[in-house]
């Protein structure tokens, strides 16, 4: 179990979650009827808030830096990056996170939006379970990709391709090409960062 996580690593996990949801029929059905917009307000160690917006529509799946007014978001969540990681990995339940004060739902969703969000999280958990626990090398590669995304996109949204250990790829259509080798010489869970297609 991890003890720390940066905002960039949490955002990389959100992007992986969106990539992993691409082939889920339940999510596709929900996208046919609507969209989802989630404002994440990540609390840093110094108490500062770093906002990111996750937008999911039929034609768009992105996590971008910046805030939107609460009335433009379906859900507003304030939490620390590590809490979000523990929720997405299944180490922590939603009720426990809320009751303990680690998860602050600043704007509660409607029931359809809540079910949509739950589908995203469940799809991601299943993908992670099938892939098995990440190796140390994969965690390093994911961290490096998150940092590159934060530093290299200068405010723009980036797309992420996740290459699973079994060789299958869950990707954004904007990406292509062969997977680079990781720093330890093994092609494991790596996130590649690229600018989105116009």
Q: Rounded to whole angstroms, what are the CA distances from 140 to 92, 105, 189, 191?
A: 23, 31, 10, 10
Give 76's pLDDT tier (boundaries 50, 70, 90).
very high
Task: Give domain 7-131's CATH superfamily.
Answer: SCP2 sterol-binding domain (3.30.1050.10)
What does the domain layout of the chain look like in residue ranges? 7-131, 136-194
Neighbours of 90 (CB within 10 A): 13
Give mean pLDDT, residues 74-84: 96
pLDDT of residue 66: 96
DSSP state of 153: S
Could you tell me which residue, 68 or 89, shows the higher pLDDT?
68
Structure confidence by residue, pLDDT tens digits, 11-42: 999 999 888 887 777 787 777 778 899 999 99
**3-class SS of residue 56:** strand
Cβ contact 186:134 at 8 Å: no
The packing angle between helices 7-20 and 136-152, to 10°, is 100
pLDDT of residue 12: 95
Structure confidence by residue, pLDDT tens digits, 100-111: 999 999 999 999
| Buried-exposed string 167-188: b where 16+ CB fall within 10 A, e elsewhere | eeebbbeebeeeeeebeeeebb
Average pLDDT score over the chain: 72
């Amino acid at each position: 179990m991890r003890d720390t996580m940066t905002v960039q690593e949490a955002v990389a996990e959100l992007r992986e979650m969106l990539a992993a949801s691409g082939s889920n029929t339940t999510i596709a059905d929900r996208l046919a009827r609507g969209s989802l917009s989630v404002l994440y307000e990540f609390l840093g160690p110094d108490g500062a808030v770093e906002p990111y917006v996750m937008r999911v529509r039929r034609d768009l799946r992105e996590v971008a830096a910046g805030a939107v007014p609460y009335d433009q978001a379906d859900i507003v969540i304030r939490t620390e990056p590590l809490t979000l990681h523990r929720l997405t990995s299944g180490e922590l339940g939603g009720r426990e996170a809320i009751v303990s004060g680690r998860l602050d739902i600043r704007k509660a969703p409607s029931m359809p939006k809540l079910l949509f969000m739950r589908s995203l999280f469940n799809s991601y958990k299943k993908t992670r379970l099938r892939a098995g626990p990440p190796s140390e090398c994969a965690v390093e590669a994911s961290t490096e990709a998150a940092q590159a995304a934060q530093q290299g996109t200068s405010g723009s949204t980036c797309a992420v391709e996740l290459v699973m250990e079994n060789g299958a790829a869950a990707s954004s259509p904007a990406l292509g090409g062969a997977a680079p080798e990781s720093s330890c010489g093994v092609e494991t869970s790596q996130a590649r960062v690229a600018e989105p297609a116009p």
